[in-house]
Each structure stands twice: as C-alpha cells, then as structure tokens.
C-alpha cells in the first residue's frame, strides 16, 4: 500500500486528494509555486515543497523539480490530479523510471489514449462509432484546408494531446480556416507542449455525455454510469449533472456497454472517462478518453457512493477493486456548478484578486470543493475556477432547488464571479427540462446581453 504520496497539483483537486490521504492514513506532500506558499493545499499537507516560480512551466509543469521533490521527501507515489501533467506520458514514464508509483494508468496507455488521433483509430478497430475526420495529424494549414474540404464544413480542429477544451477551434467555412488552425496549434503548444492537431466533422448541437469507469490491474472494469456535461462555454464545461435526465435508456445501455468494452479491450486500469457526443437523432460517437480524475467526479460520487480518488489510490497500490458492478446503483441526482473568478458582464474576463469576505453554503446534500478562504488572494497565473458547488437530492427538481438555495447563500466579495450567471442558468426553461445542448450557453449569453438589468 502507498505510504507517502506527493500531490503534483494545486487548488481544489490537491485539497481533495490530501483529504483522502488523511482518511487512508497516507502521508501527503504538497508542491507549490512561490506565489502559492499560502495556498490551502500547502497548509493541509503533512509536508510542502516549493518547486519554482509562479509560471506553471517553471513549477507545476516542471517534471524534474516535481520528481526531485518526491524523491527527496521519501515519497513512493505521485498523484497528478487533473490538468498540468496528469495526462503527460513523458511525466508518467519518468515517474515509473524513478521507481515511483504513478496514480493513474501506465505511460503507454496515457500515450495511446492521450493522442486523440490514435485513440480514434483504436475505437475504429474495436467497433465503437467515431466522428468522421482525418486519420492522421495535420502538419500545416494548407494540408488542413484540403482535408476540411473533403470532410465538409463545419469542422473542428482539435489538439492531439490534452483536453479541457484547449487547442480546439470550430471552423464554419474555408475563409476562417487558416487563422483558426494556427490559433489551435499555438494554444496546444502552450497548454500541452505539443502542437499537433487533427480535424473532425463538427457535430452541431449535440449532447456531451461521459461515462465514468474504474479498472484494476487484474482485468476488472466497472462503470459508474454517466454524466451530462453539455452545459459549456467555448468548449469549457460550466455545469454538470448526473445522471443525464433525458438520455434514452437504450442509448445509455449502449454507451455504458461500449465504455466497458473499450477499457477491457485496452486492459485499462485506474479511473477514466469515456466521452461521447450524442446527436439529435440519437446517434452517438466516441470523442475522447480522459485517463485521469475529472473535475466533475463529485457528482458521480454523490449518486453512487463511490470515492473515486480512494479507488485510484487503491488500484495504484496494486489492489483489486473492492466493489462489483452489481453493487453500483443510481441513487438520486447530483448537479455541480463550477464557480470561476470571472467578470461575466465583461465577456467573462479573468478576475484575480483578494477575497475580502467569503460565505460558503452548507447543509444536507450540499458539498463544496475549494481551496480558497477569507483573505486568500487568487493569483492570475492559473485556471479561473475557484470552487465547485455540488448539490444532491432524491429527484432532479429537488436537486435544482437545492442548488439554487446553495448559490443564494454563496457570497464572494472582492472579486467578480459567475455565481449570478449560474443562478440564472438554473432558472432557464431549457435547463429545467434537460433539453439543452453544447450550444445552449452561447444562445443564453446573447439573451442575457439583451437584458439591460443583467448588464
């Protein structure tokens, strides 16, 4: 069993992992940048080590500094969280070569599934439906233009590595292709240090449904049902719910069956997420697989009672899954709102700064995951998400009402946030009936911009 674990991340996911370590009796080591020396994860961990300046490239993306911190502190494992190096096969391989345990799948699986183009080819071989697109990465804009014409507009240019909506651009006609192609490559390079991209047909206004899976090193794979992650702005998830309220039972069964089939075929272990797009005709397509913990994992935990981080650590320690598929039942509904430090009335501009006063909601069925506190200064160097508010209730309508009350109690003074925007979303008819798609938020923002009271 893992004895001492280094958390190679920051923010709420670092706090989440450290708390699980405490519950499991595992010594935790936090790493931090210079600017994060007062961060909550630093104060909660048993030990803390500074790994570089505020710039992520010199700290949270600095593989050598992280490995050195783990070795010098006597750790036997590293948990990468999400983002940063969590899906970097070079980092996972380096961890393995240094005799440390990587809490996640091995570097070969990360490499194969992290390369979105290679993952598509694997799905074709397995017999899972994929979105029409290029078979290989596209080297230059001229080649991309030719391929886009063959596929037919609209198309989406996607980074071959990484995820989280980074390095993705939708192109509606050839006149915008070159600019978007270059932008996608540049963003992919900055985000993942890999500028390779490929092109797919853009499926207009689909549902974004993902299936949470868990696997161990003994060939056991289970699913924890699905999440609806269709509420997005610029390919970034804003609000998620589990299970999907409007998903046809037959389609749900197909998605779950394919997700488990994929993982068993690939001998996948650890936590993972298979992401699908479901169009208005009920056709579904494999989009990508994330080989890490997801931001939205709490809603799955709430409806199944499974601690996904704990299971990750157990599997990495070489233990079998201690839960079976027959034990997994959907109990109720859960919704997660991502709270960001953004000025929603100024095109969602980042709003770093000092939190002058903070009041967090609580009570039955309300869960908060955050690393901020009264007096904490949000740095401008990292992602704008500052907390996740999770609500749980026996029915979806009761869950929506519970989340509304939670947001009414949530108060963050000193910075701008998207709390009001989330609150309004929870009252929108399309959300209440569950019939929203990935394009809904853009329409909703336009509606709000025409409302003088909101502006």
Sorted by where each begins, the domain ranges of the chain are 4-103, 132-201, 207-451
Q: What is the C-alpha separation between 280 and 246, in angstroms, rounded?
A: 12
Within 135-252, strands assigned E span 155-159, 168-171, 197-201, 207-215, 221-233, 236-242
Average pLDDT of the residues of the chain: 95
Average pLDDT over residues 12-29: 98
- For residue 310, indicate whether it is catalytic: no
pLDDT in tens, 141-188: 999 999 999 999 999 999 987 666 788 999 999 999 999 999 999 999
Report pLDDT for 452. 57
Q: Please give the distance of CA 163 from its chain centroid, rounded to a whole number.
A: 8
Report pLDDT for 319. 98
Average pLDDT over residues 247-271: 97
Within 99-190, strands assigned E span 101-102, 155-159, 168-171
User: Measuring CA to CA, which residue among 355, 356, 425 is closest to residue 389?
Assistant: 425
Average pLDDT over residues 362-385: 96
Q: What is the C-alpha separation between 231 and 235, in angstroms, rounded?
A: 9
Q: Grade residue 118 by pLDDT with cuts at 50, 70 and 90.
A: confident
Report pLDDT for 294. 97
Report pLDDT for 191. 82
Dmax (CA) for the chain in angstroms is: 60
CATH homologous superfamily of 132-201 equals: ATP-grasp fold, A domain (3.30.1490.20)
Lowest mean pLDDT among 73-87, 184-198, 284-298, 432-446: 184-198
Percent over 70 (pLDDT), the chain: 98
Percent over 90 (pLDDT), the chain: 89
Burial 3-23 (b: 16+ CB within 10 A, else e): ebbbbbbbbbbbbbbbebbee
Would you say residue 402 has pLDDT above 80?
yes
Q: Please give the distance of CA 386 from its chain centroid, rounded to a whole number.
A: 14
Single pTM value for the model = 0.91
Tell me the CATH class for 207-451.
alpha beta
Average pLDDT over residues 327-353: 96
Average pLDDT over residues 331-346: 97
Q: Which of 292, 314, 338, 367 is catalytic?
A: 292
Instruction: Name the H helices within 48-115.
Output: 63-72, 89-97, 107-114
Of 331 and 281, which is predicted with more confidence?
331
Q: Grade residue 443 by pLDDT with cuts at 50, 70 and 90.
A: very high
Query: Helices 89-97 and 107-114, interaxial angle, to 10°?
Result: 170
Q: Grade residue 454 by pLDDT with cuts at 50, 70 and 90.
A: low
Q: Grade residue 208 by pLDDT with cuts at 50, 70 and 90.
A: very high
Could you tell me if 310 and 209 are in contact, meaning their C-beta atoms sit under 8 angstroms apart?
A: no
pLDDT in tens, 65-114: 999 999 999 999 999 999 999 999 999 999 999 999 999 999 999 999 98
Determine the CATH number of domain 4-103: 3.40.50.20
Q: What is the C-alpha separation between 275 and 211, in angstroms, rounded?
A: 6
Report pLDDT for 4. 98
Average pLDDT over residues 238-252: 97
Would you say residue 42 has pLDDT above 90?
yes
Report pLDDT for 136. 84
Q: In what order do the strands lie in the sheet with 197-201?
A: 168-171, 155-159, 197-201
Report pLDDT for 20. 98
pLDDT in tens, 293-310: 999 999 999 999 999 999
Report pLDDT for 165. 74
The angle formed by the CA atoms of residues 309, 315 and 319, to the nearest 5 degrees, is: 130
Report pLDDT for 116. 79
Would you say residue 288 has pLDDT above 70?
yes
User: Measuring CA to CA, which residue among 113, 63, 53, 55 is closest to residue 87?
Assistant: 113
């Amino acid at each position: 069993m893992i004895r001492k674990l280094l958390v190679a991340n920051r923010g709420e996911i670092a706090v989440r992992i450290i708390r699980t370590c405490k519950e499991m009796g595992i010594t935790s080591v936090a790493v931090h940048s210079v600017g994060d020396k007062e961060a909550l994860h630093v104060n909660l961990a048993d030990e803390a080590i500074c790994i570089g300046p505020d710039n992520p490239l010199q700290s949270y993306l600095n593989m050598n500094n992280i490995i050195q911190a783990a070795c010098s502190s006597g750790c036997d494992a590293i948990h990468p969280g999400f983002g940063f190096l969590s899906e970097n096969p070079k980092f996972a391989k380096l961890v393995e070569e240094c005799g440390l345990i990587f809490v996640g799948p091995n570097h070969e699986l990360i490499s194969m599934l992290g390369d979105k183009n290679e993952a598509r080819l694997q799905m074709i071989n397995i017999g899972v439906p994929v979105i029409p697109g290029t078979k290989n990465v596209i080297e230059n804009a001229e080649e991309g233009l030719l391929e886009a014409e063959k596929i037919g507009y609209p198309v989406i240019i996607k980074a071959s590595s990484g995820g989280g909506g980074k390095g993705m651009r939708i192109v509606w006609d050839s006149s915008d292709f070159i600019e978007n192609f270059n932008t996608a490559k540049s963003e992919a390079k900055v985000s993942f240090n890999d500028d390779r991209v490929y092109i797919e047909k853009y499926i207009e206004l689909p549902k974004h449904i993902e299936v949470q899976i868990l696997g161990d090193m003994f060939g056991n794979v289970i699913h924890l049902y699905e999440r609806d992650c269709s509420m997005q702005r610029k390919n970034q998830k804003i609000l998620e719910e589990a299970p999907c309220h409007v998903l046809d039972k037959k389609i749900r069964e197909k998605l779950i069956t394919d997700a488990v089939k994929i993982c068993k075929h690939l001998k996948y272990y650890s936590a993972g997420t298979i992401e699908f797009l479901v169009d208005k005709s009920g056709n579904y397509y494999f989009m990508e697989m994330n080989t890490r913990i997801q931001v939205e994992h709490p809603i799955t935990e709430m409806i199944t009672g499974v601690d996904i981080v704990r299971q990750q650590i157990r599997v990495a320690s070489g233990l079998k899954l201690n839960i079976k598929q027959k034990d997994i039942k959907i109990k109720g509904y859960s919704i997660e709102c991502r709270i960001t430090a953004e000025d929603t009335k100024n095109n969602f501009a980042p709003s770093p700064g000092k939190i002058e006063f903070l009041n967090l909601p609580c009570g039955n069925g309300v869960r908060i995951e955050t690393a901020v506190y009264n007096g904490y200064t949000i740095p401008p160097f990292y992602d704008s998400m500052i907390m996740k508010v999770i609500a749980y209730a026996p029915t979806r309508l009761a869950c929506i009402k519970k989340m509304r009350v939670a947001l009414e109690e949530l108060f963050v003074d000193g910075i701008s946030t998207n709390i009001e925007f989330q609150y309004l979303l929870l009252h929108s008819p399309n959300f209440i009936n569950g019939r929203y798609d990935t394009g809904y938020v853009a329409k909703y923002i336009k509606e709000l911009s025409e409302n003088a009271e909101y502006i």
